[in-house]
């Protein structure tokens, strides 16, 4: 730890934004790893259980509220059940609207993580430029006679470059990983919502009974009662 601290100190003040970005990225990664657990997003057996509730018509507002707050999948299914007596297109529209909000919450902080992956190398490059400027200033003041005066600037430049890449590369990889994970969850939730939608619309009456026409007698041409 002592050597690491000395290296970070040798990077100069340009290391400060890089260290802040690394702390923010670490916090986002830990939070997303916890929030995007599969059992938390797609509880096992929840879809089948909800479809059985819908078939047996054992639903009430309190039940739907508990389902909605339990998980992202539960929120999506509860939105469909809340309008289960409406036409199929209206139920589908409600599912799509709720799905957009659910996806937005699952992607929370991922834009920040992507921004850190983008600016990490730029911050390292900024520190490199500062180090080179420092080196040239030392040369202008003392000339080339003492190479140790140049070592500080060169070391600062290299340390900032390495630190920026060290932060940016994992942030970029994890950003892509979480994006892919959310996309996979969206496909699975869409599949489960479609199954519930089919159950709700197929169980509803699809046709109305036509009124029976009164027979007409050939003799009078009037409808008989």
The per-residue pLDDT for range 42-66, each reduced to its tens digit, is: 999 888 888 887 777 767 777 788 8
Distance (Å, rounded) from C-alpha 28 to C-alpha 177?
13
Most confident option among 7-21, 35-49, 152-166 = 35-49
Query: What pLDDT shows up at residue 113?
Result: 96
Q: Is 146 exposed, middle or buried (0-12, 13-18, 19+ CB in 10 A)?
A: exposed
Check: CB of residue 86 under 8 Å from CB of residue 195.
Answer: no
142 band by pLDDT with thresholds 50, 70 and 90: low
State how far the Cα of 101 lies from the Cα of 46, in Å rounded to an integer. 20
Average pLDDT over residues 32-44: 93
Q: Which whole number is the average pLDDT over 205-219?
A: 43
Regarding pTM above 0.85, the answer is no
Q: Average pLDDT, stretch 14-38?
A: 93
Question: What is the per-residue pLDDT across 155-173, written as a single tens digit (0 to 9) for each?
Answer: 777 888 888 999 999 999 9
What pLDDT score was predicted for residue 10?
Answer: 64
Residue 116 has pLDDT above 90, yes or no: yes
């Amino acid at each position: 730890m002592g050597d690491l601290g000395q290296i970070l100190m040798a990077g100069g003040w340009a290391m400060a934004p890089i260290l802040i970005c690394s702390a923010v990225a670490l916090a986002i990664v830990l939070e997303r790893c916890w929030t995007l657990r599969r059992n938390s997003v797609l509880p096992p057996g929840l879809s089948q259980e909800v479809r059985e509730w819908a078939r047996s018509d054992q639903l009430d507002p309190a039940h739907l509220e508990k389902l909605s707050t339990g998980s992202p999948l539960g929120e999506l299914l509860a939105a469909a059940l809340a309008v289960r007596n409406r036409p199929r297109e209206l139920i589908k529209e409600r599912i799509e609207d709720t799905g957009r909000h659910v996806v937005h919450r699952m992607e929370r902080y991922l834009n920040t993580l992507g921004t850190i992956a983008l600016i990490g190398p730029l911050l390292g490059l900024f520190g490199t430029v500062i180090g080179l400027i420092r080196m040239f200033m030392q040369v202008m003041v003392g000339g080339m006679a003492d190479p140790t005066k140049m070592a500080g600037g060169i070391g600062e430049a290299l340390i900032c470059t390495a630190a920026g890449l060290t932060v940016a590369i994992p942030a970029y990889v994890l950003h892509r990983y979480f994006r892919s994970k959310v996309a996979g969850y969206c496909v699975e939730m869409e599949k489960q919502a479609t199954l519930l939608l089919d159950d709700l619309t197929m169980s509803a009456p699809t046709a109305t009974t036509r009124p029976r026409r009164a027979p007409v007698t050939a003799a009078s041409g009037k409808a008989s009662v």
